[in-house]
């Protein structure tokens, strides 16, 4: 695949579902980023779910704030935040408006537009945003926009082996297996583990 013509845009209705469902369905989809004349396309191979004000690992755990306002908004929009004083993170807002939930896009398998000198240019959420020039200017942008969107290519995704593990880099919420990744894929941020689950933790 060398252009976006074969990729069908995912509408906002795709994200208006239970976050765990969206998390699983995002594996194998394509993230498309355009900046000026530059375009990147990457297959999503790793994501994490953050669900509701009761999730201690979610920014929404402290309630509605200027930072989390986008999470409480309608589904199908980008929630981009800055963390550790050095990294931007890209999330897709999910579920109904008023309920704070989102899926963090953690890693991509390069398809086109990436610098071939780096064999793993988007193998982590911070590196992904740096490579694709994603920053706070895209916070709140529709995921149906020209600059940033997610789509599918029509191929069967039934044979994808998806595994679930605890989310990475957290000190709380480690009981939830809400990180989904494409098992055996070399572009995930952490190596595959045979002990990871075939199904996620319950809500």
Question: Could you report the per-residue pLDDT of 49-69, keeping only the tens digit for each?
Answer: 999 999 999 999 999 999 999
Query: Mind listing the pLDDT tens digit for each residue in 169-188?
Result: 999 999 999 999 999 999 99
Q: What is the H or E stretch that residue 51 is in? A: strand 38-51
What pLDDT does residue 23 have? 98
CA 159/CA 182 separation, integer angstroms: 11
User: Does 7 score more than 50 pLDDT?
Assistant: yes
**Is residue 190 pLDDT above 70, yes or no?**
yes
pLDDT digits (tens, 9 = 90+) for 104-161: 999 999 999 999 999 999 999 999 999 999 999 999 999 999 999 999 997 766 689 9
pTM of the predicted protein model: 0.95
Q: Which residues contact 68 (CB under 8 A, 6 or more apart)?
A: 59, 60, 62, 100
pLDDT of residue 33 exceeding 90 = yes
- Could you tell me the CATH superfamily of domain 8-182? Methylpurine-DNA glycosylase (MPG) (3.10.300.10)
pLDDT at 3 over 60: no
Provide the pLDDT for residue 154.
Answer: 78
**Up-side HSE of residue 73: CA atoms within 13 Å toward CB?**
19
User: What is the three-class DSSP state of 165?
Assistant: strand
- Whether 1 has a pLDDT exceeding 80, the answer reads no
List phi, psi (to 5°) of 112: -155, 155
Q: 3-state class of 13 per DSSP?
A: helix
Give the Cα-Cα-Cα angle 64, 80, 106 (nearest 5 degrees): 115
Phi then psi for residue 120, to 5 deg, are -135, 70
**For position 5, what pLDDT does the model report?**
52
Cα–Cα dist 101/76, whole Å: 11
pLDDT, one tens digit per residue, over 65-85 is 999 999 999 999 999 999 988
Distance CA 68, CA 89 (A): 13
How far from 16 is each of 34, 46, 69, 97, 201, CA to CA, in Å?
Answer: 24, 20, 17, 9, 20
Give every CB contact of residue 51 below 8 A, 6+ residues apart in sequence: 19, 20, 58, 101, 178, 203
């Amino acid at each position: 695949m060398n252009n976006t013509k074969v990729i069908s845009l995912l509408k906002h209705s795709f994200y208006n579902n239970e976050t765990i469902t969206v998390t699983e369905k995002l594996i194998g989809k394509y993230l498309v980023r355009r900046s000026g004349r530059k375009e990147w396309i990457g297959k999503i191979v790793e994501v994490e779910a953050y669900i509701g004000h009761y999730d201690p690992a979610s920014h929404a755990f402290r309630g509605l704030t200027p930072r989390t306002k986008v999470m409480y908004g309608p589904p199908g929009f980008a929630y981009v935040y800055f963390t550790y004083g050095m990294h931007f993170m890209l999330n897709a807002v999910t579920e109904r408006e008023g309920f704070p939930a989102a899926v963090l896009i953690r890693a991509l398998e390069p398809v086109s537009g990436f610098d071939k000198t780096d064999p793993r240019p988007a193998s982590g959420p911070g590196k992904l945003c740096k490579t694709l020039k994603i920053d706070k200017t895209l916070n709140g942008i529709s995921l149906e926009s020209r600059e940033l969107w997610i789509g599918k290519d029509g191929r069967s995704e039934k044979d994808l082996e998806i595994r679930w593990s605890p989310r990475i880099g957290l000190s709380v919420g480690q009981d939830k297996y809400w990180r989904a990744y494409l098992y055996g894929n070399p572009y995930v941020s952490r190596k595959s583990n045979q002990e990871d689950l075939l199904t996620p933790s319950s809500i």
